Structures are given as structure tokens and as C-alpha cells.
Amino acid sequence: MKLVNRQQAAVLFMLLLSFMTTAMAGAAVVVEGQWVREAPPTSTVLAAYMVLKNTADTPRTVTRIDSPDFRNSQIHRTFMEDGIAKMLPVDKLQLPANGSVVLEPGGLHLMLFDPLRTLRDGDTVVLVIHADNGDSVTVDAPVVRKTDATDHAHHHH
């Protein structure tokens, strides 16, 4: 068995590094300001918020956002109908070229169903954002206690 010499190892390393850089260059979705609202310990639904930025010169589509900390998740849109706030699932999010989409209380947001552990203020949740080109971005989102009544709590689902 022939061992790889230093020069061959350096070439292999550079090829691997080049491949990794190319693969990561396609990840044009950047996540900022992510957080998950703390809910009562018996709640089976929490909500997550964030800003999704597309740094590419072409539109991008987020096909789903999930979390290994929950059994299921759905992107929702809040809207008003006859003076009543209602929510509907959203299949995907269109991110304009060099633009962003905000997930915030009272608008687009991520519903997280059936937590696999009790989540309290200060804990962290893993979120995985999947794009239409097969790329995914994984971020940690802090669990935050919000008490502002105008902030549209979602633990009533």
C-alpha cells in the first residue's frame, strides 16, 4: 500500500477545500434575528420568527423550515377576516433577489408543533431552512419570553 506524500496530500486538501467553497457558495439564504417564543410548559405549539435574506442576484424559494426539536412545523400567514385574526399554512416563501422576507408576530411566522422537550426562556432551538436549490441553512434560535400583549402570542393554537 502506497502512502500519499505531502505534495499529493496538499493537492487533495486544496481540491476538497475548493469543492466545499463551491458547495457553500450556493447557500444564498442568510438568517438573522431568529427567536422562538416561550410558551406555557403544557403547550404543544410554539412560534418562531426571523428575517430570511437572499444574498443572490436571482430569486430564491424557501421550501420548508423544520427543527429536530419538534415533531412537525409549518410556515403560516396571519390575516384579518371580518375583524378576526386567522392563520393559513404557506407552502413556500419567495425571497426576491437581494431581498428579504420577515417572519414576525402578526404576519408570516413558523409554527412549531409538539416539542420534544420543555423549552424555557434562555434555551436554544435548532432551525433548518431549506431552499429550492437543495441548500439548507442551520441556525440556533433562542427561546425568549415575551409578555407584550400586542405581540400576538400563538400558544392558543
Q: Which residues contact 93 (CB under 8 A, 6 or more apart)?
A: 52, 61, 62, 75, 101, 108
H/E run at residue 150: none
Query: To 5 degrees, how large is the angle CA 86–CA 136–CA 10?
Result: 170
10 in any annotated domain: no
134 in any annotated domain: yes
8 in any annotated domain: no
Identify the residue with better confidence: 23 or 48: 48
d(CA 144, CA 41): 14
Cell of 124: 436554544
Identify the residue with better confidence: 28 or 74: 74
- Comparing CA positions, the residue from 137, 140, 142, 143 lying closest to residue 155 is 143
Give residue for cell 434560535: 141
122 in any annotated domain: yes
18 in any annotated domain: no
The pLDDT assigned to 147 comes to 64
- Give the three-state DSSP class for 10: helix
d(CA 144, CA 142): 6
125: left (phi over 0), alpha (psi -120 to 50) or beta: beta
- Count of structural domains within the chain: 1
14 in any annotated domain: no
**pLDDT by residue (tens digit) across 56-107?**
999 999 999 999 999 999 999 999 999 998 999 999 999 999 999 999 999 9
| C-beta of residue 113 within 8 angstroms of C-beta of residue 44 | yes
Give residue for cell 419538534: 70
126 in any annotated domain: yes
What is the extent of the structural domain holding 73? 28-149
62 in any annotated domain: yes
| Reported pTM | 0.76
Mean pLDDT of 40-50: 94
Q: What is the CATH number of the domain that holds 109?
A: 2.60.40.1890
pLDDT at 110 over 60: yes
pLDDT at 154 over 50: no
H helix intervals, the chain = 6-25
Dihedral sign of CA atoms 89, 145, 123, 116 in order: negative
The percent of residues above 70 in pLDDT, for the chain, comes to 76
